[in-house]
Chains A and B, each alone.
Chain A
Amino acid sequence: MRREPPRSLADYAPIAFPAIMLLVFFVIPFSTMIAVSFFRRDPAGFYSRDFIFDNYERFLSAFFGGVLSFSIMLAIVVAIICVILAFPFTWLLSQASRRVQIVWLVAILSVLSLSEVIIGFAWTTLFSRTAGLTNILVWLGLMSEPHALMPNFGAVLTGMVYQALPYTILVLYPAIVRLDPTLMEAARTLGSSPLRSFFNVIVPAMRSTITATLIMVFVFALGSYLLPQMLGRPQHWTLSVLITDQAIYQSNMPFAAAMAVFLVLMSLAFVGLTLLVGARKGAEA
C-alpha cells in the first residue's frame, strides 16, 4: 500500500488522541512551568500570579554560580570517565558472539532501569562502615578496621558513573556495531597490533560518535537528582538536586521553575550541539 497524505477528516482521526494528550499533558505543563517561573512565591500555597524577574535575578548570586559550575564540572567528569570505560568495552562486546552480547545487554538494561533511589541505597550500603567494601579489605588483612567511604566527592562520582555507564554503553552500541569490520582487518593485515589498530584506526574513525556520546552522557548526568544528595555533602548538590529541594522542601515553586527553565535551555543547547556534530558526521560520510 502506498503512503498517502490524509484527505478526509476520518484520515486524521487516529492521530487525534495522541496529539491531544501530548499537547494537554506535555506542552501545557511545560508552558505552565515557564509561566510559574515569573510568579511570586506564596508561603501559604504554591504561588501567586504576578510577572516578576526576581526568580531569575537570584541566579546572579555567588551561591548559584557555585552550584552551576559544580554541576557542569561533575557532569563533564562523569561523561569523560564513562566514555573512557564504555568505549573499549562496547567495542569488545561488538566482537563477541551474539549470545554473549545478549546476556550482557540484558544485564546492562537491568542496571540502567534501576531506580536512582535503589542505586543510591546500594552504594550507601557498599560505602558504609558496617556492610561496606572496607569489611572485605579487613577480612583480607589489608586494613585494620572498617570505616565509611562517604559522604564525599569520590562517592558521588562513583555513584553517578555507575548510573551513567549502562546508558553510555547503549548509546555507543549501535554505532560501534555498524562500524565496518574491514577497517580493523586491514590494519591487522598491514601488521599493526590489536591495541595499536584500536587506537590508531577505530578511535579516530569514531571521533564524531565519541563527541556526540560525551555530550549525551553530560546531559544525562546533569539530570541526576538523588545521588549527589545521598552520597555527598551539601556542597556536592547539583542544579537538579537544588530544583527538587526548592520545589518540595522549601516550597518555592517559582524559583524551582526558573532554575528548571535555565536547565532546559542549557540542555537544549547541548542537544543542539549533538545534532550539529551528527550533521557534520552525515556530511563526512
Chain B
Amino acid sequence: MSATALRRIIFTFVGIFLAAPLVVVAGVSVNEKQALTFPPQGFSFNWYQQIFTDDSWRAALINSVTLAAASAALAVLMALPLSWFLWRRIAPWANVFRLLGVAPFILPPVITALGFLTFWATIGAYGQPWTAAISHAIFFITLPLVTLSLGFASIDRSLVEAAATMGANDRTILRTVVLPLILPYLISGFAFAFVLSLNEYIIAYMTVGFTMETLPIKIFNALRYGYTPTMASVSIFFVVLAAIIFSLIARFGDLPKLLGALSGGDK
C-alpha cells in the first residue's frame, strides 16, 4: 500500500470520528418538529432563531458572551504586564508567577473550580456574577501568557536597541515599537481565552451555577428535563463560532507556530 493511500485512510478515519457527533447534532438541529430524530424530518432553521428570540436562551447567550469578553480582557490585562516584565527584566524569581499562571491549566479543572467555590463561599461573595469573570480570567490566563511570551520572544532586540539609542524612553518604546509588534499575539491570546471561556462549564457552575445561567450551564440544566432542539442548534452555533475565530487567527497569524508554543508549555 502506498504512503498516500495510507494517509488518506487515516485522515478519513480521524475526520469521520471527529465529525460524526457534530454531523448528527447538526442533523437534529434542523428537525421541523421538536423531536430527537436522525435523519432529520423536514427542514427548518427555527431552532437557530430560538437562540436569539427565546428569552431564556438569549439571556444565557448574553451571559456567556459577557462573561467570556470580560474574563478574556482581564486575562490579557494581567498577562501583558507580566510577560513584558519577564521579557524586559532579569528577575528569575518572577518566573514563579509564570508558573502560577500555567498551573490551573495543567491540573484537572475540577480542582481549580473547587478552589474558587470554597474561596468565594468563605469570603461571602458566592454566586455574584463578577466572581465568575475573575475565576475564568485566572483559569485562562495561561493562553494570553503563552501567546504573549512567544510574541515578546520573537521581537528583534536590535529594533528596541535602535529606538533606545535614538533617545526613546521605555514608555515610548513600548507604545511605538513593542505594542505594534505583539498586537497579533495579544489578539490571539484574547481569542483563545474568549472561545474557551464561552465553552467552560465546571468553573462557571461552581461559582455562579445557582444564580446565573451561561449557555453550557443552560444546556446541561435543560438536558435533565429532556431534550429540546435548541441545545443542538446552540452546540452547532458554538462549533461554527470557534471555527471562524480559529480560522481568523490562522489567516492573520501563524497558527502552527502558536500551537507549537502552546503545547510546548513554558519552553
Contacts and interface: CB of A to CB of B under 8 A. Distances in A.
A14 interface: yes
A102 B110 CA distance: 32
Contacts of B106: 219, 267, 271
A98 to B, nearest CB: 7
Interface string B205-224: 11001000000110110010
A237 B242 CA distance: 30
Contacts of B209: 248
B90 A125 contact: no
Given A117-B219, A165-B18, A15 B94 contact: yes
A124 B235 CA distance: 13
Interface stretch (B43-51, B53-61, B76-84, B179-187): B76-84
Contacts of A89: 10-11, 14
Interface string B226-259: 0000011001001100110011001000011001
22 contacts: A4-B89, A14-B85, A18-B79, A19-B97, A22-B97, A22-B101, A33-B114, A102-B256, A108-B18, A110-B246, A113-B195, A114-B238, A117-B223, A118-B238, A125-B28, A130-B35, A170-B263, A173-B256, A223-B107, A223-B108, A230-B223, A240-B110
Majority SS at the chain B contact face: helix
A92 interface: yes
A10 B87 CA distance: 16
B153 interface: no
Contacts of A180: none
Contacts of B137: 21
Interface in A85-121: 85, 88-89, 92, 95-96, 98, 101-102, 105-111, 113-119, 121
A18 B81 CA distance: 7
Nearest to A222: B108
Given A118-B235, A260-B114, A109 B242 contact: yes
Given A118-B216, A125-B36, A253 B118 contact: yes
B206 to A, nearest CB: 7
A166 B264 CA distance: 15
Range, interface on chain B: 35 or more
B114 A243 contact: yes
Contacts of A17: 77-78, 81
A264 interface: yes
B238 A115 contact: yes
Interface in B149-164: 157, 160-161, 163-164
A24 to B, nearest CB: 9
Pick the 6 closest A-B CB pairs, nearest first: A223-B108, A29-B119, A122-B21, A131-B38, A115-B199, A174-B260
Nearest to A92: B7
Given A170-B259, A223-B108, 5 more contacts: A4-B89, A109-B259, A125-B21, A166-B18, A177-B256
Interface string A67-98: 00000000000000000010011001001101
B109 A223 contact: yes
Contacts of B219: 115, 117-118, 121
Majority SS at the chain A contact face: helix
A7 to B, nearest CB: 10
B80 to A, nearest CB: 8
B220 to A, nearest CB: 5
B71 to A, nearest CB: 12
Contact of A225 (B6, B107, B195, B202): B202
A6 B91 contact: yes
B39 A173 contact: no
Contacts of A222: 108
Contacts of B78: 17-18, 21-22
Interface in B1-31: 1, 3, 6-7, 10-11, 14, 17-18, 20-22, 24-25, 27-28
Contacts of B238: 114-115, 118
Contacts of B35: 130
Contacts of A14: 81-82, 84-85
Contacts of A202: none
Given A115-B199, A174-B260, A1 B79 contact: no
A26 B104 contact: yes
Interface string A259-279: 010011001100100000000
A80 to B, nearest CB: 16
A28 interface: yes
Centre residue among B7, B77, B205 by max chain A CB count within 10 A: B7
